[in-house]
Amino acid sequence: MTATAGYGQALDLITRVGGVRGAMLVSAEDGIVVAEQLMEGIKGAAVAALAASLSTRLRRAMEAAGVGASLFWHLQAEQGALLVVPTPNGILVVAVAEPDVNVGLVRLELLRAAEVVG
């Protein structure tokens, strides 16, 4: 399987969950979008930049706290949620979801997608 096919498969795992409005693979280092499947109206570049910025800050905070690397983040807002799983190879697997999404199911699919991405 090519990397591109693997990326598509990873995004499909996430976007098939009800209430997910989009999924992205983002470089944690610089916020560049590697792959995306987003509904209209979602500003992918802005979401990617936010995820990468938070990744850097969370890594530093987790190191300072002495608890190790983060495994999953869930940011809840009034009109939706951002859910992220970082991978060991520096790719962030990101989901943009409705406020009432089944977070447990999205987390499970994000983790599966992270395995596909590597």
Q: Hey, where are the domains in the chain?
A: 3-117
Element (H, E) at 83: strand 80-86
pTM of the model: 0.93
Closest alpha carbon to 73 in 100, 22, 107, 50? 107
Distance CA 51, CA 15 (A): 18
Architecture of 3-117 per CATH? 2-Layer Sandwich (3.30)
Residue pLDDT tens, the chain, 118 long? 456 778 999 999 999 999 999 999 999 999 999 999 999 999 999 999 999 999 999 989 999 999 988 899 999 999 999 999 999 999 999 999 999 999 999 999 999 999 999 8
Report the interhelical angle of 103-117 vs 3-15 (nearest 10°). Answer: 180
In sequence order, the 6+-apart residues with CB closer than 8 A to the CB of 18 are 101, 102
